[in-house]
Chains A and B, each alone.
Chain A
Amino acid sequence: MATLKIENLTKVYPNGVKALDNVSIEISNGMFGLLGPNGAGKSSLMRTLATLQEADSGTAFLNDIDILNNPLELRKVLGYLPQEFGVYPKITAEQLLDHIAILKGITNSKERKELVNYLLQKVNLYEQRGKSVKGFSGGMKQRVGIAQALIGSPQLIIVDEPTAGLDPGERNRFHNLLADVGQEVVIILSTHIVDDVRELCSNMAIMNKGQIVYNGTPSNVLQELKGKVWQKSIARNQVEEYQKNYQVISDKMVAGNPLIHVLSESNPGNGFEQVEPNLEDVFFTKINN
């Protein structure tokens, strides 16, 4: 049973931008989804938790490890996949994973080899293990990244945009992997892809402008919006007019015409029909408030 407890975490950049604005949150075992638009402070939060960035104030504890003041202890139990995961030139997948495994404290070479091989098989790269990673496609590189984040037995796994660049099959495999691992440890999954959160996460938070604007379970938040989301397919030149008259959550193109979602306590009429709220609706509702 692991618990991550963040209190009053604040970080202001020299240019005055508040990346983290008094963030407090408690996360326990299982997958935790972190949603938010670009620049919301997700990455700042993740980096701070991964001991890669100093915070101005606040505390963060994983169980009894003081993350901010004792980074070395946290690093021993951390698995981290940054948003941009690159690789050294001229180094093979196997050499790279072996190196990272050593750095995570697996000094027994026999055990290490077994582990690396297992992971390579799990991410479907065993055949390519002797090739230079630099020549891999984006998806293959991402899988190396996933493999390295799982090395050791991390208590806290932080993954930033893990499924970007993966095809649907790979994405499923990865979800299965995370689900298997996530039973005993804290996994923070930062993403834009609302479906990822819906499929995987028991808990979630939405960040905007350095603040947590929602923290709870996906089902609770969907419950909040139940019966309040309405949709309508309109003509392209009507979008502005509808935005003026209704509380439009989102508009997206479906079969060549904008399909708009609006928020309304009661039936707005005018050809709108009620739909089941999805996480996207939640997302846009929360960040536009």
Chain B
Amino acid sequence: MFKEFFIKEITTALKRPMIYIFLLIITLMVFGAVVSDNIVIGGTIGNVYKNAPHVITNYAAILSIFGLMIATAFFNNAALRDYENEFNEILFSTPIKKSVYFFGRFFGALVLSTIPLLGVFIGFWLGSIIGPAAGWLDAERIGPFYAASFINNYLLFILPNMFFAGAIIFAMANKWKSTVISFVGTLIIIIGYIVSGTLLSDIENEVIGALTDTFGIRAYSIDSKYFTPIEKNTISVGFNGLLLYNRLIWSAIGILILLVSYFAFSFKEKQKKAKAEKIQPKTFTQFSLPTVSFSFNTSSQFTFFFSFLKINLLSILKSTTFKILFVFSAIILIANLQGGFEYFGLQSYPITYNMIDVISGVSAIFVIIILVFFSGELIWRDRASHINEVIDATPHFSMTSLLSKVVSLVVVTSLINLFLIIISIFYQLFSGYTNLEIGLYTMDFIYNSLPKYITWSLILIFIQVAINNKYLGYFISIIFLFLLDIVFLMLEIETNMIKVGATPSMTYSDMNEFGPALTGVLWFHAYWFLFGLLFLFLAGLFWIRGVAGDFKNRLQSAKKHLSAKYIAMISVVFIAWLGVGSVVYYNTQILNKYKTSKELEKLQADYEKTYKKYENITLPKITDATYIIDIYPESRDVKAYIGIRLKNKSTEPIDSLHFTIDRKWNQKIHIKNAELVLNDEKFDYLIYKLNKPLMPNENLNLVVQSSYITNGFENEVSDLIIAENGTFFNNYNILPNLGYSEGMELSDKHTRKKYDLAEKKRMPELENPCGSNCMKNYLTNGTADWVNVETFISTSDNQLAIAPGSLLKEWKENGRNYYHYKSDHPSQNFYSFMSAEYQVARKKWNGIDIEVYYDKKHPYNIDMMLDAIEKSLDYFTKNFGPYYHKQARIIEFPRYSSFAQAFPGTMPYSESLGFITNLEDAEKNNVIDAIIAHEMGHQWWAHQVIGATMQGSTMLSESFAEYSSLMVMKKSVNDPIKMKNFLKYDMSRYLRGRSSEVEKELPLYKVENQGHIHYGKGSIIMYALQDFIGEQKVNAALKGFLEEYRYKEPPYPTSLDFLKHLEPQVPDSLKYLITDWFKEITLYDFRLKEASYKKQNNKYEVTLNVDAYKLKADTIGNETKVKLNDWVDIGVYADKDEKKLIYKQRVKFDKENLSFTFSTDSLPVKAAIDPLQILIERVYSDNTKSLEEKK
């Protein structure tokens, strides 16, 4: 009997189209992703194959979330079909067994819901055959398939996910017998998944995040987070790691739910409740209705409208679905707020713009659910309730009723938004933050949310009316809201004018408020609102009053509604829409014409093909620059005149000058005694022929005119560097590029291949001895060495403008502020110009002005910043050498970018990065100290000594700046455990970074300007180095290196030049570290097998058994074991939390299995290999173990 129900369930569904449609959709999605370069899910980049086992697993896992919808359909149907067909009473009176019926249906539905997900595999298979064959895809991007990828993904993701989801949906469907409630069950699963995701935001609690994820996606992503490309290409997901635990946990929970549901299930039908009626005395009186007056004019349509609205809102707000969505939106918001905006384990203050970001993330999901679900409900409710004929036969205009539905949707979505705002405000208050900015919440709602809600409501109502089938309507609505974006992405359509509801993106900044995007956003909102309104008028025509006829009937009835007045109204809206559309079109497509990314790509490729030949021509270098810059913040305009002095530093005469100019800045070049011989307007490449060649050591002056003028609004704001408050640009933005600009070249190897360009090296190879590449440094790339800068800069009278160097003079003129700055020492040709309404905090240290320029809304950490600069100056001047500027400035800029950057003497610092970080808890990492000390470190490492344009050079600036920063921190926290907690993030950054390496990984001394290596690995290695050879020794090496190259003309140093200074400082016994850490990729793998102690007298004798391996990795991540002969720390803690290290000893690890015995004075609780975690290891968790007592 079980078999019959099971088979019947499957064969019935196989005869219907639904399952094939689902299968087709998933196959097509995956197929599209495999063959298209524009869709990236699951990390196919660089060397990872399009069909790598890792990628297949990501798809199978992520698409099983989509699979939920499918599961809902099948399980709900399995549970409710007999009830809905009212066949239950007949069926249940037959002598079938409950278990047979229940489980037959359940497992039938389970098999069915996994079938569409097989489309993942079909998609991969088809994609990897058809993609290369059709020329959409390089054959080399397809790797081999492994049977295990298919089988294991099915068994580990698809089946268990459908089983768990199915158990919940089936249980809820059986309990409540309502499709709506079943959908709510689906929502609960999705929401649970999102909530568990917020746990993952910090590495401290990622294990909990991994285990609580119902789909297992995050468990897998943690298991695989340090996978190298070769591992991603070859290792299929297996039955191990966190994933296995996760799968066991959730399958067990699924079984439990299924069993509970089974025992609660009964064939007996519950008594339907009907309200008992009181029998009343019946009186037969003459029927005479009270006389009433009637009105059918325009104002009565308003009364109709409000009555509709009231009834709509009453039934939505009282519905279970809405209440559940309401509660869940609150839960997700709070979970997000709790776990949000973290950086190095620190949270920022709950300032309002952070709240708004979180609200918009949370509300986006719920608003879409509400709009899709209730647009269908509102359109179909009358018919579902069998009251449509009565309502339809009343004398209201169809538009009145439809408009009330639109407004109902807008009101309900706004209510959710308002509710989230109120929760956020309470959250702020509970956190002790009282600057509530209700105005900002309101304006953000009005600018960003409300207009979208209106447009979407209008369109979705139209869709439901036009489609005239509730579920098909849902389907189309969802496609419209989600898939359309993907289609546009694939077609590379960038204009917001055809993506319904789209506007330029807009980021709120405390400094610059809504910023330059606002005008465009409002125009686009108007454009889409009118568009939606137009469709509502159409919906009004086709809205069915009474019985739906065929299409002909609907046309017939539409014609009847099309009165002269109606035509007039539609025309007015249409003309208004065309008008607004023309304004938008003119501004975004004509006035501010932009290139699509495809066009840009082609331009870059052609530029390279045409002008690469000039890359190595000899050009003079900049030696002096004088800037006259006028900033007009209110109109976002900048006008600049720049006087440049060039010097021929080569040994040969130069007869022509080449420039690549930036059209956006209208750059014009004036050179005396020169002739413009090439003016390529397509690539903006200019060649001037000098009437008289420039001889070696001769100088030449030229003037550049540069202006940035803002006109109207853009499709996407292209330059946020010029802002109403918070302008921040650098010399490269305003000056033309001298010669061929290598930075314009395409870098991705697949893109390059598309344009027949050879693979591009990220950096020239490290050479010894060094040739011409050492004549230029990687920052200015040969256009300049050390430069004197003088600036006259002006801005509006409420702003303060900053340029490099000392402020010589400031004055007011024509209601504007003027400043004259001059650099105190020749520096790198790399500096910023800034203007905003600043507050300034100052401090003096040994004759140096320490200054922090900040926005008045962010006063929290200013004193700490001043201190951090002081601490850095103190340590660096003592250990490295003098500071050559008369000031050290930190300057806040809007959060359009979130970085801090070091220019000579000046460090722009994003408002999102440290100004709002909550540092009240002294126990936590002090990120401000870390970042400021890093940027201050650059004043030595990058601005006093800079590497050649070559592999390994960023180590000399970034890794050293990191090291400098770590030393300042080490001195001030004076606690190795705290340092470990900070360095953990660097370790993770390196390991994660190498896992998504696009080309090949290189050792530290050959780093090619990659953050995960020069910051992440550099920090660990430099820190470990000072731990091994001593801080003084490392500093001595650094100082020696600095002194040899400080402010020197080329040749510039390479990483090998530094190693020359390092070697004498390293004792022979540790010389292997230079090879292992700098010159090769070395990983360790330690495991603490056993840890025990014995109490003897007043001492504790500790024994540790250790497995140890040392591995060398090649460039794509293949690891080989090498012989171990290394010094490693072992230690014990007096507590479980690994805070009190009571014993630490550096011992020699010389074989793979080792045993150590030592004694401690106090009770050892936990033992660790490499307790300070200074050696690079992928899995650290098996390095520690609680000690067992042995009698």
Contact = CB atoms under 8 A, between A and B. Distances in A.
Given A84-B386, A128-B275, A95 B314 contact: yes
Contacts of A150: 289
B280 A124 contact: yes
A216 to B, nearest CB: 28
A90 B390 contact: no
B553 A54 contact: yes
A71 B560 contact: yes
Contacts of A111: 290, 292-293
Interface in B294-342: 294-296, 299-300, 303-304, 307-308, 310-311, 314-315, 318-319
B289 A90 contact: no
A80 B550 CA distance: 24
Nearest to A117: B290
Contacts of A50: 389, 393, 546
A52 B304 contact: no
A145 B284 CA distance: 19
B287 interface: yes
Contact of A89 (B274, B307, B315): B315
A105 B391 CA distance: 13
Contacts of B274: 135-137
A181 B287 contact: yes
Interface in A165-222: 169, 173, 176-177, 180-181
Given A106-B292, A115-B289, A118-B289, A131 B390 contact: no
Contacts of A90: 314-315, 318-319
Contact of B545 (A51, A95, A128): A51
B295 to A, nearest CB: 5
Contact of A47 (B275, B299, B386, B547): B547
B315 A88 contact: yes
A57 B381 CA distance: 31
Interface stretch (A20-28, A96-104, A252-260): A96-104
A224 interface: no
A115 B310 contact: no
Contact of A76 (B286, B395, B397): B395
B394 A104 contact: yes
A148 B386 contact: no
A72 B395 CA distance: 5
Interface string A143-175: 001001110110000000000000001000100
Contact of A75 (B289, B293, B308, B393): B393
Most chain A beta-carbon contacts within 10 A, residue among B273, B275, B560: B275
Contacts of B304: 102-103
A98 to B, nearest CB: 8
B292 A148 contact: no
Interface in B992-1041: none
Contacts of B314: 90-91, 95
Interface in A60-108: 69, 71-73, 75-76, 78, 80-82, 84-91, 95-96, 98-100, 102-108
Contacts of A118: 289-290
B546 A103 contact: no
B90 interface: no
B396 interface: yes
A104 B390 contact: no
Contacts of B394: 75, 100, 103-104
Interface residues of B, number: 52
A47 B310 CA distance: 28
B385 interface: yes
A105 B546 CA distance: 20
Contact of B292 (A51, A108, A137): A108
A131 B275 contact: yes
Contacts of B299: 107
B253 to A, nearest CB: 33
A155 to B, nearest CB: 12
A105 B277 contact: no
B395 A105 contact: yes
A91 B311 contact: yes
Contacts of B286: 180
B549 to A, nearest CB: 6
Interface residues of A, number: 64
Most chain B beta-carbon contacts within 10 A, residue among A53, A115, A153: A53
Nearest to B281: A124
A127 B281 CA distance: 12
B275 A52 contact: no
A103 B396 contact: yes
A241 interface: no
A140 interface: yes
B556 interface: yes
B1191 interface: no
A266 to B, nearest CB: 46
Nearest to A53: B547
A152 B290 contact: no
A269 interface: no
B282 A124 contact: yes
A105 B294 contact: yes
Contacts of A137: 274-275, 277
A51 B273 contact: no
B682 interface: no
A141 to B, nearest CB: 10
A80 B393 contact: yes
Contacts of B311: 88, 91, 95-96, 99
B546 A51 contact: yes
Given A69-B560, A106-B294, A135-B275, A78 B393 contact: yes
A49 to B, nearest CB: 10
Given A88-B385, A105-B395, A127 B280 contact: yes
A171 B307 CA distance: 32
B561 to A, nearest CB: 9
A122 B286 CA distance: 10
Contacts of A112: 292
B312 to A, nearest CB: 9
Interface in B257-277: 273-275, 277
B444 interface: no
Contacts of B389: 47, 50, 52, 80, 82
A87 B396 CA distance: 19
A14 interface: yes
B278 interface: yes
A86 B385 CA distance: 5
A14 B549 CA distance: 9
A114 interface: yes
B757 to A, nearest CB: 61
A153 B289 contact: yes
B557 interface: yes
B288 interface: yes
Interface string B387-426: 1011111111100000000000000000000000000000
Contacts of B278: 127
A88 to B, nearest CB: 5
Contacts of A127: 278, 280
30 contacts: A47-B389, A51-B545, A54-B549, A71-B560, A75-B395, A76-B296, A80-B393, A82-B389, A82-B390, A85-B387, A87-B385, A90-B315, A95-B314, A99-B307, A99-B308, A100-B391, A102-B303, A103-B396, A105-B300, A105-B395, A111-B290, A114-B290, A114-B292, A115-B289, A115-B292, A124-B280, A127-B278, A137-B274, A148-B390, A173-B284
Given A51-B545, A140-B275, 15 more contacts: A47-B547, A50-B546, A52-B393, A73-B395, A84-B386, A87-B387, A89-B318, A90-B318, A99-B308, A105-B300, A106-B294, A111-B292, A137-B274, A153-B292, A180-B288
9 A-B pairs closest in CB distance: A52-B546, A86-B386, A180-B287, A103-B394, A75-B395, A82-B389, A105-B294, A102-B307, A90-B318
Interface of A: 14, 47, 50-54, 69, 71-73, 75-76, 78, 80-82, 84-91, 95-96, 98-100, 102-108, 111-112, 114-115, 118-119, 122, 124, 127-128, 131, 135-137, 140, 145, 148-150, 152-153, 169, 173, 176-177, 180-181
